[in-house]
Structure 1
Amino acid sequence: MKYQPINKELFCHNRRNFARQLKASSIAVFHSNDFMPTNADGTMAFRQNSDLFYLSGIDQEESILLLFPDSKDEKMKEVLFVRESNEHILVWEGYKLTKEQAREVSGIQTVFWLQDFKQVLNALMSEAEHVYLNTNEHLRAVIEVETRDARFVKWCREAYPLHKYERSAPIMHYLRAIKSDLEIELIKKACQITELGFRRLLQFIRPGVMEYEIEAEICHEFIRNRSRGPAYSSIIASGANACILHYADNSRECKDGDLLLMDFGAEYANYAADMTRTVPVNGTFTKRQREVYEAVLRVMKAATQMLVPGNSLDQYHAFVGTVMENELIKLDLLNESDVRNQDPAKPLYKKYFMHGTSHFLGLDVHDVGNKYRPFEAGMVFTCEPGIYIREEGIGVRLENDLLVTKNGAVDLMKNIPLEASDIEQLMNKSK
């Protein structure tokens, strides 16, 4: 892996917390992700299952974690299974974890080769009453490919039909929503790498540059700083493209007078950063562009003040909607009387600001967490208001990552330029 070794206490801490949530006499099983196919014999780059990584730190395919806190055998309370290597695998794929390396990474002392899994599981199932199975229960998940976890769910229920089955996902969503100090440091590292990428771009962007050239600069800076690359597909949207929320082509020429909306973030040790900045291609905002930019920035600053313990996402988004309405009225995009008489179920501001303001952030860009759970210290959210005026070809979105603390929100991207004047100054520094 490109990233530096992680303190295994992170994963030991996570397993202890998870074990406390289980019913008595319970086994929980977590599988790694598959290598996903492309075409012919091709595969996509491997990305570990977030839950398995959270509990073990193992970043390798064909790995299984088995937790049995009430096992009568102390050595079988935590068991890890990893792929056994051989000369053929070494030549064609490279090094795999040894048992000792797996112990060092995870803090789990009992490590078997993968082929021993069914035999070990069978011996332990006779002691267990409940089995916790892992599934992807993210609200936005569209699941069309069967995962290793899903295949195991079917096999296990057929092989052991008389056990009582439980879901791991609610526990994982609850635990993963609160970041430990070690996790926060990893997210900060991802944010720092993202800052390096953005500062590089401020000296690179100019009329005539292609959106994909900007994307290439991002990848270059990320990888050279130990990131695997972007945590998600970078959005590099110039001109009217900025009004397409999930624009992905990144193929247009950036032209003089355009705004350029860039939504990107580095991944570090599987943890994500998520940032958006909107800049003038020629280095100077027009009067109208700046008006819209400043309006979005005011909404962002107001929203940040609401990311405090006790608030909820529904309350938060309702507040942000009201602030956005006032800004859109000032921009002559909404009429004050129309807003007063609008259908509350169909707020008028949605024409210009149609997405949510914040989402959980962590091992996944849209991280797991219960939207109805009040904010608590240790949660990390994005804050990303935007205004999109299709008829004017103007799209502005600004986004930072924020840690909720008992004393208010801490901006993990506070060092990344955000004020319009700072953006202009840095872009024109070498001109």
Structure 2
Amino acid sequence: MMDYAGRRARLAAQLPPGAVAVLMTAPEALRNGDSDYPYRHDSYFYYLTGFGEPESALVLVAAAGATPARSILFCREKNPEREIWDGYRHGPEGARTACGVDAAHPIADLDAQMGTLLADAPALYWATGADHAFDARVNGWVKAVRAQARSGVTAPDTFRNLLPLIDEMRLVKDADEQALMLRAGVISGQAHARALRAARAGVFEYELEAELLYEFRRNGAQFPAYTPIVASGPNACVLHYNANDRRTRDGDLVLIDAGCELDGYAADITRTFPVNGRFTPPQRTLYELVLAAQQAAFEAIAPGRPYAAFHEAALRVLAQGMLDLGLIPAGKYAGVDEAIAARAHLPFYMHGTGHWLGMDVHDVGAYRDLQLPDKPSRLLRPGMALTVEPGIYVRPGEGVPEQFWHIGIRIEDDVIVTDDGYRVLTATAPKTVDEIEALAGKAQPAGA
């Protein structure tokens, strides 16, 4: 059970005495005609409330003297007629009980209530710059309070972005979050295994995507955490390819980057495998190079180590392999350090080795220590969650060994930093050459 009240209390404790913070959830989004996209809450709002209804806002008032901190939720009113069409609504009273807030009001009352809540408040925090229309709304609240100056009421004179404070909180996952992310990782790993079993030459990329989505949903995941990438043959060298409409050919590698979202938390896995179940020698050579790079990255993850260390470890392995295999001309550089300094690896490895993971697939939090003058890579702490995803992408080109053309490989797992190292959350996804070749094409019976 997530401790939403505890999160609100910790956030309020970081605000100046009497300060007010306001946070809106995400709006509903029209898809076309009178059809909306499936609704997905705002991650920041949900992190503090666990409340999934649209048209909602949270207001926090920090403690001041003997007056304790307060949390106030604004949401849709009960509407029996709309509930027939759209489903259950908590209404303010139900939401107050469900979320454990101090008070709840109809969302239509937000503007009027903010005029009262901001009176004599020294500071106002919100997601500044995220929504220009909401910024203008906030400005209207402040102007309304300033208009009461003759009555002795003062308006806030300090305005701050609320999100960086929540970013730092979200960056370290508690035990409940870690357990949920592990479950999301297990489901996603099972989905990758299912797609691998369904692989065969001639299958369309979207057929493999369907296997993933089926496994996500049948295990209770609400959404894919992002649009799945199912990239076969040359498509695997396109980093964000997601058309997923090509028919695979014998000899292709298939790169699948997909993870589910479970109760608001994302998994993010990439696996690459031969669609016919057998790696060719060049494919296997590059695959084992990427696998070795990932292992080197894992070994660089521990509390107190810089975030950048695991990317640097993977890059050294990849760059050395590129030199050894002739992808980078060895005679042009004195060694791996000089090749990396010259960025000679970029044609074949052009992205970082990971990112934060959590409620968003590219989760919040700074990668550098912004409190220090030179802003070094921040140090890892237990509870941080990140992906580890080295890759190699070989497009045809002058001087590029032809046996490697059109090979795109990425291997990605999710990890939690622990007290003494790391824990892999996505181990259910087959990864070694032997595991992949043993499982590929061995589809389960229909419905399994």
Normalised by the length of structure 1, the TM-score is 0.90
CA distance in structure 1 between the partners assigned to 2:142 and 2:330 by the alignment? 59
Q: Which of 169, 174, 181 is equivalent to 2:175?
A: 181
CA distance in structure 1 between the partners assigned to 2:34 and 2:195 by the alignment? 36
The verdict on how the C-alpha distance between 1:414 and 1:152 changes in structure 2, with shifts beyond 3 A counting, is: farther
- Give 2:437's aligned residue: 424
| Structure 1 residue 319: Cα displacement | 3.3
Aligned runs of 1:8-157 on 2, under 5 Å? 9-70=2-63, 77-135=70-128, 146=131, 149-150=134-135, 152-157=137-142
Segment drifting more, 168-177 vs 325-334: 325-334
CA distance in structure 2 between the partners assigned to 1:251 and 1:44 by the alignment? 22
Segment drifting more, 374-383 vs 221-230: 221-230
Contact 2:199 2:441 in 1 (8 A): no
CA distance in structure 2 between the partners assigned to 1:156 and 1:424 by the alignment? 63
Aligned runs of 1:306-317 on 2, under 5 Å? 306-317=300-311
Q: CA RMSD in A?
A: 2.2
Give yes or no for the alignment of 1:405 onto 2:418.
yes
Segment drifting more, 100-109 vs 179-188: 100-109
- Give 1:377's aligned residue: 382
CA distance in structure 1 between the partners assigned to 2:67 and 2:113 by the alignment? 14
Give yes or no for the alignment of 1:356 onto 2:352.
yes
CA distance in structure 1 between the partners assigned to 2:133 and 2:240 by the alignment? 29
Could you say which structure has the larger radius of gyration? 2
- Give 1:4's aligned residue: none
| Structure 1 residue 108: Cα displacement | 1.6
Give yes or no for the alignment of 1:227 onto 2:221.
yes
Contact 1:31 1:149 in 2 (8 A): no
- Give 2:268's aligned residue: 274
The letter for the 2-side match of 1:70 is: A
Report the secondary structure of 2:62's partner residue: coil
Segment drifting more, 19-28 vs 257-266: 19-28
The verdict on how the C-alpha distance between 1:290 and 1:81 changes in structure 2, with shifts beyond 3 A counting, is: same
| Structure 1 residue 318: Cα displacement | 3.0
CA distance in structure 2 between the partners assigned to 1:321 and 1:361 by the alignment? 21
Report the secondary structure of 2:346's partner residue: helix
CA distance in structure 1 between the partners assigned to 2:120 and 2:12 by the alignment? 16
The Cα offsets for residues 158-185 of structure 1, whole Å up to 9 and x where unpaired, read as 4446412111121111111111111111
The Cα offsets for residues 321-366 of structure 1, whole Å up to 9 and x where unpaired, read as 2222112123221233434375765411111110110100001000
- Give 2:152's aligned residue: none
- Give 1:246's aligned residue: 240
CA distance in structure 1 between the partners assigned to 2:39 and 2:380 by the alignment? 33
Report the secondary structure of 1:403's partner residue: strand
Contact 1:71 1:77 in 2 (8 A): no
Report the secondary structure of 1:29's partner residue: strand
| Structure 1 residue 113: Cα displacement | 1.7
The verdict on how the C-alpha distance between 1:222 and 1:415 changes in structure 2, with shifts beyond 3 A counting, is: closer
| Structure 1 residue 69: Cα displacement | 2.4
The letter for the 1-side match of 2:123 is: H
Give yes or no for the alignment of 1:395 onto 2:408.
yes
Report the secondary structure of 2:209's partner residue: helix
CA distance in structure 2 between the partners assigned to 1:106 and 1:149 by the alignment? 24
Contact 1:34 1:148 in 2 (8 A): no
The verdict on how the C-alpha distance between 1:353 and 1:121 changes in structure 2, with shifts beyond 3 A counting, is: same
The verdict on how the C-alpha distance between 1:303 and 1:197 changes in structure 2, with shifts beyond 3 A counting, is: same
Report the secondary structure of 1:351's partner residue: coil
Segment drifting more, 104-113 vs 29-38: 104-113
CA distance in structure 2 between the partners assigned to 1:185 and 1:303 by the alignment? 23
State the percentage of identical aligned residues: 35
The letter for the 1-side match of 2:11 is: F
Segment drifting more, 233-242 vs 95-104: 95-104
| Structure 1 residue 278: Cα displacement | 0.2
The verdict on how the C-alpha distance between 1:203 and 1:68 changes in structure 2, with shifts beyond 3 A counting, is: same
| Structure 1 residue 299: Cα displacement | 0.2
The verdict on how the C-alpha distance between 1:412 and 1:147 changes in structure 2, with shifts beyond 3 A counting, is: farther
Report the secondary structure of 2:41's partner residue: coil
The letter for the 2-side match of 1:370 is: A
Segment drifting more, 109-118 vs 314-323: 314-323
The verdict on how the C-alpha distance between 1:321 and 1:339 changes in structure 2, with shifts beyond 3 A counting, is: farther
The verdict on how the C-alpha distance between 1:135 and 1:209 changes in structure 2, with shifts beyond 3 A counting, is: farther
The verdict on how the C-alpha distance between 1:26 and 1:380 changes in structure 2, with shifts beyond 3 A counting, is: same
CA distance in structure 1 between the partners assigned to 2:277 and 2:96 by the alignment? 52
The letter for the 2-side match of 1:114 is: I
Q: Which of 284, 288, 304 is equivalent to 1:290?
A: 284
| Structure 1 residue 76: Cα displacement | 6.9
| Structure 1 residue 148: Cα displacement | 6.9
The letter for the 2-side match of 1:348 is: A
The letter for the 2-side match of 1:288 is: P
| Structure 1 residue 317: Cα displacement | 2.7
The Cα offsets for residues 26-77 of structure 1, whole Å up to 9 and x where unpaired, read as 1110101111223333322211111100001011100110111226796871
Segment drifting more, 364-373 vs 217-226: 217-226
- Give 1:330's aligned residue: 324
CA distance in structure 2 between the partners assigned to 1:419 and 1:226 by the alignment? 28
Segment drifting more, 419-428 vs 245-254: 419-428
Structure 2 residue runs of 5 or longer lacking an equivalent are 147-154, 369-377, 397-404
The letter for the 2-side match of 1:414 is: A
Contact 2:296 2:310 in 1 (8 A): no
CA distance in structure 2 between the partners assigned to 1:76 and 1:405 by the alignment? 33
